[in-house]
Structure 1
Amino acid sequence: MPTTLTKRMRPKSRSTAVGGTGRSLFRGLGRLALGVGLTSLILVSLVGLCALMMPVTVLTRNLNLGPSVVAVYGSLREGRADLEGGYQLDWTTGLGLLHLATPVTLTGPDTRINATLLSGPTGIRLDGADGRAGPGLAQLVPGAWTCDMTARITDVGFAWSWTRASATGEVATPKGTCRKDGRELAVPPLNLRLGSDGRDAVATLSANETPPMADLRLRRDRVIDIAIRPEAADVFPQLPRGGPINLQLPF
């Protein structure tokens, strides 16, 4: 009678079975995380697209735009704001990866400034502001002096993020005269240099290439420090000569 040989199958070890189950679990979790990430990105993009297409009048109806704003038109994607004195702010916005890029142009009878505004979850940033700001533009600020100088703006930038504030560029004005309430003030050529120091944005004001006469510091904890040096009295005799004047303005 023929002999029948039976091959016995070796059962898988417990460690091999557990290892295969763990790898399958990690692969499943990875696919789930990828799906959630892609879905969130799509939803954020759709929300951003809807906001871009929404009329700007709807987005600003609960905001106090100030008395200098005559009217606003268009949407965040493309629009403009008409200001008093014949000034106009135009913008176009593009949707990037988790940020909005908005080139803006401010024009008027004596003014033309171009810049780009970047905004996103990490903060806001103004890049490459360049052009000229005429004396009429300052009259849009309530209580401002009336001056006859045109400011030159060169590569000015400002950033405000969750952790720090920073600034770059330069603003310069020629000599001129400012008036208010019957008072008249002769102003020499002024130069405002912007920079950064640690977590703060800083600015230094000087006249005629003389030593700085004032320092400003915009702190990330929402405080502005102003230090007016004694040298400022050489340029503006109305200021005291006894020592530095320090001001601190929270906002």
Structure 2
Amino acid sequence: MSETAIWLVRGDALPLGQRLADALGATLYQPWLTPDDSPREQFRRVFHQHRRWVAVMASGIAVRYLDGLPASKYTDPALVVLDEAARFAIPLLSGHEGGANALAYEVARLTGAIPAVTTATEALKPLTLGIGCRRGKSADEIERAVLAALGARTLAEVREVATIDLKADEEGLLAFCARHGLPLRVIAQSDVAARAWVGQPSDWVQQNVGVAGVCEPCALIASPRGRLIVPKTAFDGVTVAVVEDCRVVGAT
């Protein structure tokens, strides 16, 4: 039995569900294949057989499916709701302790969805890092660049890291994020090109990546109500920008 499961409510979502199942090594449930059995009852029987769920459905349907099932945030499976258009990945159950927040970012990287994390532990952290790097940069090199850019600020204040989709598989960046428990938000190249808030466009990035810059636009797209407090800063092939969420700062 796989740790992760995908639950669909309609056949129209099958291509999305299959793609997620393949990428996550997940069990894919298609309840319409057993028409004599209520989909909700099918779900209730298998809910505790998996530790992570991606429910491709409306959040209202998910709430009704979950009625009476959750017991504790320390033991409940993680559940992320993903709409069929893959616009939003919403951690609905066991977000922080159970790993649904991390799963939402994982689903977002695979689908281009926006991770809608609402738990206070993550939401009250004000900083977003935009990172770009040349291929093959190590986690240590990226960390040195980040710490230099943060200055007196700390990694404990960072909510997420954002980069362009072409860097989604960059081993050093993934290792850096894993080392510090930071979620990686991947921004589509087309979105970066359309919203290129770049103070100093880079000819090298334009020629090699197809956009005028990576770290600044990625950070600002990931934190749309934030302000750029550290513009693009380059450290030996790694660029870092820091955006601060103004509303979080005002609330603390």
TM-score class, shorter? under 0.3
**Based on CA coordinates, which of the two structures has the bigger radius of gyration?**
1
- In the superposition, the TM-score normalised over structure 2's length comes to 0.28
Asked which structure has the greater RCO (Cα within 8 Å, sep 6+), the reply is: 2
Q: Which structure is higher in helix share?
A: 2
